[in-house]
Amino acid sequence: MLLELQRIEVPPGQHLILQNVAWREFETILEELDDHRSSLIAYENGILEILMPSPEHEFNKEILGDLIKALLEELDMEFCSLGSTTFKKSFSTGIEPDQCFYIQNEAAIRGKKRIDLSIDPPPDLAIEIDVTSRTHPSIYETLGVPELWRFERGNLQINLLRLGKYEEVQQSLIFPISNLNQVIPCFLQEIGMRGRNNTLRAFRQWVRAQLAG
């Protein structure tokens, strides 16, 4: 199967879906594919999806991640960003998020070079950019990720895990600031006019104003 995958070229912004992929095959694919590959994977119940991100996808991912890091720094909240780390669980699911963060559980994985969800907690926050409609909430539910943010078509959706299922909410439980689902997309739009550094600086000033108020 690996040889066949190496012969397949997935254009940016497109994805490939393979059916009836056994767990052992999935793990073999992960081990033998190049660590520096740009594709992302999602695996659930024998279905493997391989996504090749588009430039738009990567731009939104990086900027949204920068805004979250700035927010965490302004709030003086310790965190660990693990990007698109591969997370696997229960011999049935695996995924590489666009971005993920350990925040409340940062101390539990501090200094670790490998994350094993059989003994380690999952990320506190996962980010998915839905430019290519790739999000798999059921996988994150299985992994037990408490908070999932989905950014699609200029909208930010905040989802909290409640009784094993995600529920869309208006307020994040991680961040004690209201209206993030409305404000963050506005700052994302501003980058096209003001540039990254100016926008991040303005975002930090906004966060400080909220805390002062």
Q: Quick: pLDDT tens for 49-87.
A: 988 888 888 999 999 999 999 999 999 999 999 999 999
Positive or negative: CA dihedral 29, 30, 34, 38:
positive
CATH number at residue 165: 3.90.1570
Mean pLDDT of 118-127: 96
Q: Is residue 6 one of the residues assigned to a domain?
A: no
pTM attached to this predicted model: 0.91
Q: Please say whether the beta carbons of 152 and 130 come within 8 A.
A: yes
Q: Does a structural domain hold residue 117?
A: yes
d(C-alpha 131, C-alpha 151), whole Å: 8
Mean pLDDT, rounded, for 147-166: 95
21 part of a folded domain: no
135 occurs within a structural domain: yes
On whether residue 136 sits in a domain, the answer given is yes
Average predicted confidence (pLDDT) for the chain = 90
Domain presence at residue 42? no
What residues contact 41, with CB distance under 8 A and at least 6 apart?
29, 30, 48, 49, 50, 51, 86, 94, 95, 96
- Per the domain annotation, does 7 fall within a domain? no
Over 90: is that where the pLDDT of 130 sits? Answer: no
Look up the domain containing 117 and give its range: 55-212
pLDDT above 90 (res 211): yes
Number of domains in the chain: 1
Listed residue (133, 125, 106, 147) closest to 65, CA to CA: 125
Give the contacts of 70 (CB within 8 A, at least 6 positions apart): 200, 203, 204, 207
- 33's tokens: 């594919």
Q: Which residue has the tokens 């199967």?
A: 1
Query: How far is the CA of 16 from the CAs of 41, 46, 97, 147, 168, in angstroms?
Result: 10, 14, 17, 27, 28
- pLDDT, position 3: 47
Is there a domain that residue 196 lies in? Answer: yes
Higher pLDDT, 44 or 37: 44
